[in-house]
Amino acid sequence: MPRNDPPASVSALAILAGFAAAVWVTWCTIIVLVGGTMPLIGIRPETGGLTGFVLMLFVGEPILITLACRARMLILLPLSLATSRRPR
């Protein structure tokens, strides 16, 4: 049975986007610990602290990872479908 695989460039782009999302969420979690402004979403925790860090680690991080994954799928799925090799 023939497969409908996307080109290697789309697969590499998906891996790169997943890595970027993981780095971004980790960065946001560290910002909650030390204080500052979170990148891309602009939320500014008043002060850093362990309570906010633990809350972000167990509640916020899964939510942000899910949102980043869905955004990646919304972008890469049409690209993958448009460039996939179709069996003849």
Q: Please choose, from the candidates 62, 88, 76, the residue with its C-alpha nearest in 3D space to the C-alpha of residue 7.
A: 76
Q: How many CB atoms lie within 10 A of CB 68?
A: 18
In a domain? residue 37: yes
Per-residue confidence (pLDDT) for residue 64, from 0 to 100: 85
In a domain? residue 3: no
In a domain? residue 68: yes
In a domain? residue 64: yes
Total domains present in the chain: 1
Instruction: Report residue 29: phi and psi, to 5°.
Output: -65, -40
In a domain? residue 87: no
Q: Kindly report, residue by residue over 15-42, the tens digit of the pLDDT.
A: 888 898 889 888 888 888 888 887 777 7
Indicate the DSSP class of residue 39.
Answer: T
Cβ(39)–Cβ(28) below 8 Å:
yes
In terms of residue numbers, what domain contains 55?
8-81
pTM for the full model?
Answer: 0.70
Taken in order 60, 66, 70, 71, the sign of the CA dihedral is positive
The pLDDT mean for the chain works out to 81
